[in-house]
Structure 1
Amino acid sequence: MPASLQPARYYPPLLTTTSTPTSISISMPRAARRPPPPSPPLLASVAFVCRQWPRVEALDHVTRELDALLDCSQLWTLARASGAGLEHLVARIAARDAQILRRMDKLQRQALATTAMAAAAANGHVAVLRLLAEQLFPCARVTKAVETAARNGQVEVLQWLHERQEALDVFWGAREMLVAVRGGHLDVAQWLHRHTSPPEHQFLIDEAARNGDLVMIQWLHGVAAFGGHFDILDFLHREGLASCTADVSIKAVAEGHLEILEWLFLHYPEPIPSGRLLRIAKRHDLYCVDWLVRTGKAVDYDMW
């Protein structure tokens, strides 16, 4: 039979099912998007002008472009703004460079904080120093700011740092006393002597003598008597730089420096109030009392 007249063959389906296959969807986890960093606030001039045009104010990207066009903070560094005492500008620069600050390692942040704090302290800007130390760089150590404040005679800055020294991790005992004496800031030197423990190997007398600062030399002479530094007193006396006041001898007695007291009576007998010394010595040092009575420098009327 011809192929054209043969009946069509039936081929059964390979897979028979009564249900329609369902599609399986696999949901992949989406990567969490990091929120964009907060932008610094608009300049007051830009915000005021855009507020007059609500259609412009509604376009955030347009207001940001205007703000960037008129923003002069791009010309300032953090240290320069801190030295000028512009607190609002310091905050704006920190907000502008927030991403850069976050990418810095610990040493880089410390270096930036040291430079900015030193600039603020040198010019007496306590408000800017507070912003830097407590908000922008809370983990940084305050080091160079102490020296620059002492060099420029900024006692208020030193007082604020001393009050906050535990919270801010302030480092004392470097060159602050040296630069204060070198700059002739007697009030700073006296404050540092009362509240800190400066090193004793910084040749402070040489610096004061080099500057011809007689008032500073006389004060250092009293400090030497208070600390029992006989060699310094003797050197100052031989060079004609020493002088004695009642306070010098009283401090020597209060600290129990009998050798200093003998030296003072030998070279400066007139200004020493012997009766007052005896009363102070009774409260502090019996050896000084014995020497004052035994040598006849003071009469103890309580014995009679």
Structure 2
Amino acid sequence: MDGAAAHGKLDTLKWLHKNRKEGCTTAAMDKAAAGGHFEVILFLHTKRSEGCTMDAAVNASRNEHVEILQWFFRFYPRMIHREKVIVFAKRYNYYLMDWLHRNYQASGERTVLAEINSSFYLTPPETEELTT
């Protein structure tokens, strides 16, 4: 099941869930997050009890799967390694940093918000330089 989840094989995953007893591990959701397989994550969340590790959100942020990361923040907030997520967001994705900033500002989490604020030297991709 872990392999099927990692490769986004939802039909295979459903078949294994129904017909086999071996089950899966937390690696299934962690690797599905890395691959951007959101439907697989939703299936595992609703049909399985293994859950995920902190690697799931880190994998999603590393590979710029913003929608998946947002979902983890909502449904698995205690499984978010916030500092690692911020590191990847700072490097790769202005929009993810913006979302994190707004999310943490609303939650009032000051230490993480300070880290995000210190990282806002990024320029949005569509911003053009002004020439005179």
TM-score under structure 2 length normalisation: 0.78
Q: Could you tell me how far apart the structure 2 residues matched to 1:208 and 1:201 are?
A: 10
Q: Tell me whether 1:150 sits opposite 2:33 in the alignment.
A: yes
Out of 19, 23, 44, the residue aligned to residue 135 of structure 1 is 19
Q: Could you tell me how far apart the structure 2 residues matched to 1:216 and 1:201 are?
A: 13
Out of 61, 66, 82, the residue aligned to residue 181 of structure 1 is 61
User: Of Structure 1 and Structure 2, which has the larger fraction of its residues in helix?
Assistant: 2
Unpaired runs of at least 5, structure 2: 123-132
CA contact (8 A) 1:146 1:158 kept: yes
Q: Tell me whether 1:228 sits opposite 2:111 in the alignment.
A: no
Counting aligned pairs with the same residue, the percent is: 25
The alignment partner of 2:15 has SS state of helix
- Larger RCO (CA under 8 A, 6+ residues apart): 2
TM-score under structure 1 length normalisation: 0.37
The alignment partner of 1:145 has SS state of helix
Q: Tell me whether 1:209 sits opposite 2:90 in the alignment.
A: yes
Alignment RMSD, CA only? 2.1
CA contact (8 A) 1:149 1:158 kept: yes
**Alignment deviations for residues 76-125 of structure 1 (CA, whole Å, 9 cap, x no partner):** xxxxxxxxxxxxxxxxxxxxxxxxxxxxxxxxxxxxxxxxx222112321
Unpaired runs of at least 5, structure 1: 1-116, 243-304
- 1:216–1:173 CA distance, 2 compared to 1 (3 A): same
CA contact (8 A) 1:141 1:171 kept: no
The Cα shift of 1:236 comes to 2.9
Out of 51, 73, 80, the residue aligned to residue 193 of structure 1 is 73
Q: Could you tell me how far apart the structure 1 residues matched to 2:119 and 2:72 are?
A: 26
Q: Could you tell me how far apart the structure 1 residues matched to 2:44 and 2:30 are?
A: 12
Q: Could you tell me how far apart the structure 2 residues matched to 1:132 and 1:210 are?
A: 38
Count of residues paired in the alignment: 121
Q: Could you tell me how far apart the structure 1 residues matched to 2:3 and 2:24 are?
A: 15
Aligned twin of 1:265 = none
